A and B are shown apart, each in its own frame.
Chain A
């Protein structure tokens, strides 16, 4: 089943996703400022809303310099990959009943597949830059995202067990009686942490840790190529927030207000949570990050899956 106007809905989803990502740059700066007792950008336009426009004009005007020592084709390809994979994931995201680009029977797996392909952008950017800090950032990104992907998939299998399907609209419909955050609370926490790691947000931003690696994998990027990484990160944040609301908080389901409003309300509250995490937490050491992923999160995800499987088997 697809929506009646495929081209229209593809364009619509892409444009909305991009504008939310651009808007998030302003939202994040304002919220961070609020939590740190400052004002943040409030000069350009009402409440500083046009700051995004000013920033994007500036970034488009900047010189887009490709250093002579880089591996040219891969260097140019890398920022495109992050964009393409995140935008592809939005294709299976159900915003409201019928508002979805493609209702795949394996929608959830498609999301996981695209997020696992997203690793390439960071890894290849780090490698092609021919710069040791960028390479270290790329190595860290590869190790981190590979480890956190493992239990990201496992943490979602509890939801799949309860809903009995990989299709995202069907998962939302299965939450009519109870949101999956209640029976699947461990799964929710695990997915939240894995999502933070996949978007390389602050407690997990070791691939670009500016205090030790200059800017990590995107040290050599400038102009709009850097802008693609930047906006790609915010698109990743909105994607993970949207996925959390779809998988654990009933997506468009909610009383009184129309479904789309509920969806965006839930999504934006998780985006705000992501910003709060950035304001509150320092980054760990890299070996702590890896042992945390493999020794704590993976066993917990397996136990959660085992317990959910046993419960479903017993009660059905």
Chain B
């Protein structure tokens, strides 16, 4: 199990580095997905199977799909890679790398003595739920409020765009059909005539 932990950790770190240095956006995202999968394996080895599953479902399976979705629509292959190339000159990354290495050395120094090994017992999903809705209920509520605010904000931003008069798309409803002239072919013609 310890070996699995180190392999998964190494894969996660390596793929993160590769993600940072890729010029092509989609390839970088693929390495980020691999990195998330590596982190999920690390969680699983540490006994947090529930967190590992959620990591894959939410981060690797949903959020990253949205990232790829957006990148696909933007179609940024040629010029974007050129721009990335200019950003990746040593003059830009040496400063942050030096500062980050100082932090890493500090962390290594601090945790050097406190090696407790890998925890043996796993955490069951039920325990996670009881902890979340028991002592940490405030955190859950705060997070849900934040998400609700995000939801309302996204709705607001998305809503203003579709305010211009347009024919209703769902032809199941009678109103939609009436507006569209009762015929799908007509609906298409009408729509193209109205929107420039």
Q: Which positions in A face B, CB cutoff 8 Å?
A: 71, 73-74, 77, 104-106, 109-110, 112-113, 116-117, 119-120, 123-124, 126-127, 135, 138-139, 142-143, 145-146, 149, 153, 164, 166, 285, 287-288, 291
Contact = CB atoms under 8 A, between A and B. Distances in A.
B72 A123 contact: yes
A293 B148 CA distance: 20
A127 B26 contact: yes
A113 B68 contact: no
Interface string B63-81: 0011011001100000000
A71 B68 contact: no
Given A123-B68, A166-B125, A139 B60 contact: no
Contacts of A124: 26, 30, 68
Contacts of A123: 65, 68-69, 72
Nearest to A119: B65
B170 A109 contact: no
B133 to A, nearest CB: 12
Interface stretch (B3-11, B48-56, B136-144): B48-56
B170 A116 contact: no
A142 B65 contact: yes
Contacts, number: 83
Main DSSP-derived SS at the A contact region: helix
A71 B69 CA distance: 17
Given A105-B125, A110-B53, A116-B57, A146 B66 contact: yes
Nearest to B71: A127
7 contacts: A109-B125, A116-B61, A117-B56, A126-B72, A127-B26, A139-B72, A291-B169
Interface in B101-150: 122, 124-126
B163 interface: no
Contacts of B72: 123, 126-127, 135, 138-139, 142
A113 B57 contact: yes
Given A105-B125, A109-B53, A120-B33, A142 B69 contact: yes
B56 A116 contact: yes
Interface of B: 26-27, 30, 33, 49-50, 52-54, 56-57, 60-62, 65-66, 68-69, 72-73, 122, 124-126, 169-172
Nearest to B64: A120
A127 B68 contact: yes
Nearest to A114: B56
A105 B65 contact: no
B50 A106 contact: yes
B73 A113 contact: no
A157 to B, nearest CB: 12
Contact of B50 (A109, A153, A285): A109
Nearest to B33: A120
B26 A117 contact: no
Contact of B61 (A71, A119, A291): A119
A288 B65 contact: no
Contacts of B170: 287-288, 291
Given A116-B65, A120-B65, A142-B68, 7 more contacts: A112-B53, A113-B56, A113-B61, A119-B65, A123-B65, A139-B69, A285-B171
B57 A112 contact: yes
In this complex, the member of A113, A138, A143, A146 whose beta carbon has the largest number of chain B beta carbons within 10 angstroms is A113
Nearest to B60: A117
